[in-house]
Structure 1
Amino acid sequence: MEIIRFAELKPRPWHTGGVTRALASFPDAAGPGTPQDGGWDWHISIAEVAKAGPYPSFPGMERVLTVVGGELLLLTVDGAEHPLEKYRPFRFAGDADSAGALPTGDIRELNVLTRTGAYKGYTSIIELSKKRAHPVFAGQLGILLQGQATVSAGGGAGAGNGGGDTDAGGGEPLGRYDAVVGSGTGTPEILGRGFLAVVSIDPVAD
């Protein structure tokens, strides 16, 4: 079972005056966190947006943007304004003329980029439960956005990632923005209270 610890990711400067941290990408040709299209077919990151301004262009890519910290991003895409509230994913073309304004202050955003014609990215926001575990399947990434949660290998086996304390149920504790990599064998299951972003990267059929 693989857990990506957000606190261990290297921050890199972001065009909005903040920083970005790459959670995962494929292929990872340019190195994690590179704020340009490094030749990957998909890329998942969390960025801090500290000032208004234009967004970079990603030709040949499709983008799903979700505000996960702060309250509101006023996103302009090809001249049309879109008020993006927290936990409401928004899809748009990576090469669109886009810019963001911050009417309520700084935000954090979850960015999912996929190469058009090769992959399709989806972001869903799930409210967690302490009674029913939420599975993270192969091709998915589960990111804890808010609250307290633990993750265990499928079937309640409680296998961790090799470090850290576990709770009475044998789960591995998750911190804010920690990501669980999905698997088809020993599918990770997340229990807790709060909100989880589930990012799915689906290959596009020929």
Structure 2
Amino acid sequence: MAVTPVGARLRHVVLADLPASPWRNGGGETREIVCVPAGADMAEFDWRLSVATIARTGPFSAFPGVDRVITLLEGEGVVLRSTDGLIEHALTAPLVPYAFSGDVAMDCELVGACMDFNVMVRRSTTRADVTVQRVAARTAPARAGAFYAAHGTWTVTGTEGESATLAAGTGAYWLDAEAGWRLHPHSTGAALLSVRFESV
């Protein structure tokens, strides 16, 4: 199964088991990790997590009212340029989150085939905090959030005793339950994306 429960709050996700949705322009594909509310379309979600592979230069659609954070997971990356000429950003350093407004359409110039972790939030309802953990840590409580193991293996342990082991390419998320977590890497060089969502 792509998503399995771990205790009462945590849901474990295996990226390779999630269905891939090809882009209409043929430039890549997206695997959706979770969308809130469940089943909401791109005009109605409050927040959404996904991983995309990009294989071709092409446009990024505008999403008015949405804030975005994109993080290069692997590959050479892309250069993002807003169609109004005000933004140009080279997304070529791995595991460095880049936040930008979805209000403006972007052109995406491929440097080399890559995989990206994407966070999208409806600005009127939700705020996201995206960090990269490389050492043991404890997260501040949040009512919803997620983890994605980019490198190495991590143990995620909740205050109610639930625990999940996240190998590279897997993740976990929780919904509608105030929770803080202890994060423990199993080796040096491990890296974990941590996302906290707060209502506004």
**Is TM > 0.5 for Structure 1 vs Structure 2?**
yes
Partner of residue 107 from structure 2, selected from 91, 96, 99: 99
Q: Shift of the alpha carbon at 1:19?
A: 1.6
Looking at structure 1, the residues matched to 120 and 110 of structure 2 have their Cα atoms a distance apart, in angstroms, of: 22
Q: 1:106-125, aligned counterparts within 5 Å?
A: 106-125=113-132
For the 8 Å contact 1:122–1:199, the answer to whether it is kept is yes
Which residue type is aligned with residue 34 of structure 2?
A: A
Looking at structure 1, the residues matched to 167 and 62 of structure 2 have their Cα atoms a distance apart, in angstroms, of: 31
Looking at structure 2, the residues matched to 191 and 93 of structure 1 have their Cα atoms a distance apart, in angstroms, of: 32
Distance 1:16 1:107, change over 3 A: farther
Secondary structure of 1:106 counterpart: strand
For the 8 Å contact 1:180–1:188, the answer to whether it is kept is no
Match of 2:173 in 1: 181
Asked if 1:4 corresponds to 2:13, the answer is yes
CA-to-aligned-CA distance 1:95-141 (integer Å, 9 cap, x gap): 312011122x111111111112211122111113xxx4544743221
CA-to-aligned-CA distance 1:20-71 (integer Å, 9 cap, x gap): 11111111234xxxxx615111111110111111012212211111111113
Partner of residue 155 from structure 2, selected from 145, 150, 158: 150
Distance 1:119 1:92, change over 3 A: same
For the 8 Å contact 1:16–1:49, the answer to whether it is kept is no
Q: Shift of the alpha carbon at 1:16?
A: 5.5
Partner of residue 37 from structure 2, selected from 27, 48, 58: 27
Distance 1:195 1:20, change over 3 A: same
Match of 1:200 in 2: 196
Corresponding pairs, count: 181
For the 8 Å contact 2:52–2:115, the answer to whether it is kept is yes
Distance 1:180 1:29, change over 3 A: closer
Looking at structure 2, the residues matched to 9 and 137 of structure 1 have their Cα atoms a distance apart, in angstroms, of: 28
- Over aligned residue pairs, what C-alpha RMSD do you find? 2.3
Match of 2:3 in 1: none
Which residue type is aligned with residue 95 of structure 2?
A: Y
Match of 2:51 in 1: 46
Unaligned runs of 5+ in 2: 1-6
